[in-house]
Structure 1
């Protein structure tokens, strides 16, 4: 099939690779424009941009599709289908309708639960035990299109957003490959999403990354793993007479009682109900380390309150 691929982060690269390896003709890749990064602020191309160049696929980086010329360029590619994976730009009706067989989107949730920008993080933060990666046909609404295929994924009690991201990345690539194979045979069927059970996964805001130890331990634990490794849930504690920001990367539920935010022992901290034990943390300006290594540098914190 003639395919246009639209994606930006590393999450999308395995799907692009799968499509190429299955022998489809990827006539173009659309991705977000390079952004300044690093100390020198040199422009850095997206992971999809770099992968497309390795495959010899032409790359387009429009800022949006408000310019009729960008829409005309897209339509002139004559694609049978567009595949969209974490692209990051809204597609107007003229783009959605240009490919003969429409636009397929790979979405990381069990739709209609967690439509929107951060489905992986929100599912874990809410304590969901199961999610899915879904292929749907795009329409104007936010992740409202009918679903064709999905694969269920279990969320373990200590699974982080990073681990779920990687599993979805692998599973989703194969799922989209199967969807295109069925579409090529005109055998891909779609089912409308139900009206019940709709939730929205809003973008993670900086203000919500700080840990609130007044909440029950299970909610604190889900908050930590839902934001690990990025952007990271954090707390402040005094070390050497100075407040130090500590990013929590791995936690587990622990026994213990005390005033919320008080260190009980080691890196076990009391919550509104029960306690959490931090297994891996990252001190500001340093790399990730296990709790034992952190405490060797910080000393005994028992009885200290987090800020």
Structure 2
């Protein structure tokens, strides 16, 4: 092994940036692999991923990949380690074996609970009181590799998916700072994941992003928390869609699918009760308190059923 260890980093979103910053301190990051530039913002112009932008600031070479087969085995042949954080692509088997110490993944859950693409969303939506970060060695399965290290943290009763992701990104980076030196120094005992307790968090569908008029208030409260601030939960109105960014559950009965103002507060009826709308984002506008949004109504909007 060379010292400092020669490392490749694979990641794309902002949640991967703290780990990249740590690796630049504890190792020699030879290159970064990230997803291709994508249109962002109102201009629609292609913009680099957060990881690509930071790699540029650190003068690290960048490769782009949109599919697993875009990863070339020869890129990884002379490396000590490859680290994956929120990359979003499965690593082909012929690539996994190339670095001397293989590939490791910083996963935002306490494995084996919530394997898969959306563990933060799944934990909040399920009402979990605790989650964490697990660093595993990647194998051919989906987040099934042996555990190298882990750290737990409670989930706040009103914590959003966005806020929790920020915290887990920091926890993961801190954990990585000790795990990488211990791994390359052969000071870690790998632990196989138990079969019991394994759950999966699949990719979100369009239906997952919609407010459930038949769902109970607590379920919808958790859904809005899990998906805030982005992508948010969509509520379709006859006047156009809005995104729900914060709600509060209530047992108060409001007709299913009806918006109602009570004492300058906005309520939406759903299965078994209602939710109070606290923060919304109408299409093309900035987030705002629901009460401010309601003051602009000429008539009460009709919810599409």
Q: 1:224 to 1:95 in 2, by over 3 A?
A: same
Query: Matched residues in 2 for 1:14 and 1:215: separation?
Result: 37
- Separation in structure 2 between the aligned mates of residue 149 and residue 259 of structure 1, nearest angstrom: 49
Match of 1:66 among 65, 69, 72: 69
Q: Displacement, 1:130?
A: 1.2
The structure 2 residue matched to 1:43, chosen from 46, 53, 64, is 46
The TM-score, its normalising length taken from structure 2, stands at 0.91
- Please give the root-mean-square deviation of Cα atoms over the aligned residues, in Å: 2.0
Tell me by how many angstroms 1:29 deviates.
1.1
Structure 1 residue aligned with 2:303: 306
- The separation in 2 between residues aligned to 1:261 and 1:43, in whole angstroms, is 38
How many angstroms does 1:36 deviate by? 4.1
Q: Figure out how many residues of one structure are paired with residues of the other and give that number.
A: 297
Q: 1:288 to 1:41 in 2, by over 3 A?
A: closer
The reply to whether residue 14 of structure 1 matches residue 18 of structure 2 is: yes
Q: CA deviation at 1:205?
A: 1.0
Aligned equivalents of 1:258, 1:204: Cα separation in 2: 29
From 230, 247, 253, the counterpart of 2:249 = 253
Counterpart pick for 1:57 among 56, 60, 79: 60
| 1:297 alignment partner in structure 2 | 296
Q: Contact conserved, 1:65 with 1:71, CA < 8 A, in 2? A: no
Change (3 A) 1:113 1:59: same
> Gaps spanning 5+ residues in structure 2: where?
none
Q: CA deviation at 1:38?
A: 5.0
TM normalised by structure 1 equals: 0.90
CA offset at residue 118 of structure 1?
0.8
Partner of 1:272: 271
Cα distance in 1 between the residues matched to 2:198 and 2:75: 35
Q: Matched residues in 2 for 1:164 and 1:61: separation?
A: 28
CA distance in 1, matches of 2:123, 2:101: 31
- Give, in angstroms, the shift of residue 162 of structure 1: 0.6
Give the secondary-structure state (helix, strand or coil) at the position aligned to 2:35.
Answer: coil
- CA drift at 1:102: 1.3
- What is residue 244 of structure 1 aligned with on the other side? 240
